[in-house]
Amino acid sequence: MLLSKMFNWAEAEGFSRGNPARGIKKFSEADRVRSRVLSADEEAGLLRELAPHVRPVVLVALHAGLRRGEILSLPWKNVDLRKRVLTIEGTKSGKARFIPVNSLLADVLGKLKSLNQGRARVFPFKDVTTAFEKACRRAEIEGFTFHDLRRTFGTRLLEKGADIITVSRLLGHSSVVTTQRYLHPSDTLAGEAVEKLTEGAANSGHFSENLSNGGQTARRENPRVPPSLFFSVN
């Protein structure tokens, strides 16, 4: 924006024959930042409305934070239920990442594996977009995309006390800065974090007592040094 204005001024003053920044789409913060995460009530409603074959896909997104393409291309050879870990290959960064499998996801994947009929992939279908969007409409969930499930995964981890570096690694982000812009923990979490500073705060009772006394500290008995030695009257 600033560069474009500079070129406009240079053109108007005759220092430039044109504005090379003209026609370039301006950056919009609103286009890049989404803060939509799934609430607990919305999750319950969504799971009720999902088709049986789509429900496990959504649970993998919510409990492993995988992208839709990573879920639908996940091979059984990369699912280790004994060690409880998923190996994700072909990522954007080009590096494999390893996602721990929690107890709920282990149960879901275990049941799917028992029904497996020699298929190479965990999920034998190519897309779930239409089924997912229809379930959202039936559950009256507005402004929510499949990718927001991944954002919900990361945000919930932060709200449960996970550190930003761990969350960044699980999401496969190349930088913690990306993770910070990507996730949006609730204001309640920020309030709880600040409130922790009050735990064991030193002299808090003495401070309250001083406030009730008009902010004046209690006068010491028999001071050894006259106040004039500390403060100048000039």
| Residue 68 · residue 146 · CB < 8 Å | yes
Contacting residues for 99 by C-beta, under 8 A, at least 6 apart: 64, 65, 66, 85, 86, 88, 170
The catalytic residue among 119, 137, 147, 206 is 147
A 10 A CB-CB count for 189 gives 14
DSSP code of 133? H
DSSP code of 21? T
CA nearest 148: which of 29, 46, 28, 27?
A: 46
- The answer to whether 126 is a known catalytic residue is no
The catalytic residue among 67, 68, 151, 156 is 67
| Residue 74 · residue 123 · CB < 8 Å | yes
CA nearest 46: which of 127, 134, 114, 136?
A: 136
| Residue 132 · residue 18 · CB < 8 Å | no
The catalytic residue among 22, 92, 137, 138 is 92
State how far the Cα of 154 lies from the Cα of 63, in Å rounded to an integer: 9
- The answer to whether 147 is a known catalytic residue is yes
- The answer to whether 67 is a known catalytic residue is yes
- The answer to whether 150 is a known catalytic residue is yes
The catalytic residue among 63, 68, 150, 151 is 150
Question: What is the layout of strands, in order, in the sheet containing 85-88?
Answer: 79-80, 85-88, 97-100
State how far the Cα of 35 lies from the Cα of 148, in Å rounded to an integer: 9
Residue positions annotated with a catalytic role: 67, 92, 147, 150, 173, 182
